[in-house]
Amino acid sequence: MQIGYARISTHDQNLDLQKDALTASGCENILTDVASGAANDRDGLSQAMEQLRASDVLVVWRLDRLGRSFKHLIETVRTLQARGVGFRSLTEGIETESSGGRLVFHLFACLAEFERSVIRDRTRAGLAAARARGRRGGRPAALTNEVVALTRRMHADPAHTAADICRALGVSRATLYRYLKQHAILPPSCSTVPYAVKRSLDVDQ
């Protein structure tokens, strides 16, 4: 049994072209979706996958109608193959029931793995180059040394509440309190907010 799957991205587009091609190819049932290719939830595809049985064939008009990405396309076809289900794409003339079609998808899988390997290598090289220049990965510090010095002076002035300091620096209260401890403005062993700071927080709430 051949089950067709057709997808368009918006309601402004039309499914007729795909459905006509799938019907002409011998599909007895056609499931459809109106969804972006990047969408995770596609009811039509889910229903098609549920209906497919061993020796059935999933048919699409074009490869990009099935996969959200190259990786997703490969994973979907591998899932079908593991269930004994064939796959056919009309536009590219690919069918996994033939030895030639299976070879094409083996090549696709190799290319996908090659792409992932290149991305990993580039990421490692970029991090190594950044470390060589004295940079480290992760989020930048919210408070620079100059700002910490300003924070120290503002915190020492009773006229400034914690909320005042947060607004001036553009940071959250949690960030402010963490930096107060890290830079010895508050004792490291301090497990609670001091009364003066706590009072200002309570008032702001």
Which of 9, 46, 98, 172 does the annotation list as catalytic? 9
Strand order in the sheet with 86-89: 29-34, 2-8, 57-60, 86-89, 94-95
Distances, alpha carbon 121 to alpha carbons 108, 117, 132, 147, 162, in Å: 20, 6, 16, 37, 45
200 catalytic? Reply is no
Contact 57, 86 (CB under 8 A): yes
Q: Cα dihedral sign for 30, 34, 37, 42?
A: negative
Active-site residue list: 9
